[in-house]
Structure 1
Amino acid sequence: MFERAQTTIEVMVYAAVFLHEQMPDWNDLLRAKAVAGCRVRILIGDPDSQAVRLRGEEEKFGHGIESRCRLARLHYAPVLGVEGIDVAQHATTLYNSVYRADGELFANTHVYGANAYSNPVFHLRRREEQGMFDAYAASFEAVWSTAEPIRE
């Protein structure tokens, strides 16, 4: 999905370190897409925020999520400052994670007390205005508006 993106790549998560672990060339892909004119925006959780701490408690994962947020920040360090790529951290409660490429997205819902990897994922395509796709895209924009950019 991300390889096909031409205009937009957006990721809204707490950490999603699996992107770097399962795709060692993830940063290279983001860099290449940005060079080709694709707008790349990445939102990761602020490890010092109450929302991240609470999620760790609810999932009985302790400080694991906080440390994964810190690890995600380290993973994205090589693309900080690359034109066309913006990485920011947020302190919001996430009810879902969003992975978007142009008019297609995956919404990973968050079920109370369960880790993200064990929760349902919806694959959505934008077919009409004001549908489910637009609702998830709007949630990304709402969180982006509260986020703090991460600088080099």
Structure 2
Amino acid sequence: MANERLRSAISGSGMTLAALSERIEVDPKTIERWISTDRVPHRTNRQALCAALGRDEAFLWPAAVSEARAQSASQAEFVAMHPNRGSVPAGTWQSLLEGATESIDLLAFAASFFHDTIADFDDVLLRKARQGVRVRLLFGDPAGRAVRIRGEEEDIGDSLSARCSLTWKYLRPCLGVQGIEARMHDTTLYSSTFRFDEDLFANTHAYGAPANHSPVLHLHRVLGGRLFPHFMGAFERVWDAATLVQKDAAA
């Protein structure tokens, strides 16, 4: 598809392709490709063309500007990177839980650290649900294939399965409560996802390494950004494939 805006701008400038190529120091055939194939030039070339033609970049290449804005927004989403989950201050989890007013979404295999670091973790979830916060708990099936394989990869045998069972046991007071949905997944995880309203922590997974030894990305949702919706999209796909957990099932 040709870039008719660029063609028109060059024609209206009164410059030949040869004159334009000399001015911006680009081969004429390259300029022809920019016109005939709608190929987007590199940023420095776009700026040189705009200066030579007296046109705005957003007019000549709207898609490129949209992409640049998306990249800028995605960079703005990035708050911090922690080298491992243990380096995230324990108080951070507590404050994010307590501060949530709309959504709490937790995806992991066991995430037993929540119960280890927050003494009243279940009570906080129950209180948040009563306040109208939507709480979604999405943890591993202790008898599932994904948990077994992960345990083998980490060389910890049935320990992960046992931790999953313990997590579900601890969560029994939250099951069947209005405002709290719990599902059990049997999915390969490439990251654990912990979302509190506009903040999201993505705990990456590395082969053979426990999640608490792997880096954690702290993101904050920004309009036009792609990182927050990228990880939440993965959450939703696992959620859709998971099985609803009833109170008796976690006994």
**TM-score with structure 2 setting the length:** 0.60
Match of 2:137 in 1: 42
User: Is structure 2 residue 96 aligned with structure 1 residue 4?
Assistant: no
1:73-152 equivalences under 5 Å are 73-129=168-224, 131-152=226-247
1:61 to 134, 138, 156: 156
Distance 2:207 2:223 in 1: 30
- Does structure 1 residue 32 correspond to structure 2 residue 32? no
Q: Alignment partner of 2:171: what SS? A: helix
1:14 pairs with 2:90: no
What is the rounded CA distance, in whole Å, between the counterparts of 2:241 and 2:115 in structure 1?
A: 25
Q: State the distance in 1 between where 2:230 and 2:98 align.
A: 23
Residue 81 of structure 1 aligns with an amino acid whose one-letter code is G
Cα offset for 1:139? Answer: 0.7
Q: % of aligned pairs identical?
A: 44
Deviations 1:78-118 (CA, angstroms, capped at 9, x unpaired): 11111000111000000000110011011000011101110
Runs of 4+ in 1 over 2 A off after TM superposition: none
Q: Find the aligned partners of 2:101 and 2:133 in 1 and give their Cα distance.
A: 5
Give the superposition deviation at 1:24. 1.3
- Structure in which a larger fraction of residues adopt strand: 1
Superposed CA RMSD = 0.8
The offset of 1:130, in angstroms, is 5.1
Looking at secondary structure, tell me which structure has more helix per residue. Answer: 2
Unpaired runs of 5+ residues, structure 2, are: 1-95
Q: Deviations along 1:48-77, whole A, 9 cap, x unmatched?
A: 111110000111111111111100100110
Aligned amino acid, residue 118 of structure 1: H
| Number of residue pairs the alignment of both structures matches | 152
DSSP-derived class of the 1:93 partner: coil
Q: Structure 1: 5+ residue runs without aligned partners?
A: none
CA distance in 2, matches of 1:108, 1:129: 23
Q: 1:18-65 CA deviation, whole Å, 9 max, x = no partner?
A: 101111111111111111110000001001111110000111111111
What TM-score do you get using the length of structure 1 for normalisation? 0.97
Q: How far apart, in 1, do the equivalents of 2:193 and 2:226 lie? A: 15
Task: Specify which structure has the bigger relative contact order, considering alpha-carbon pairs within 8 angstroms and separated by 6 or more residues.
Answer: 1
Computing the radius of gyration from Cα coordinates, the structure with the larger value is 2
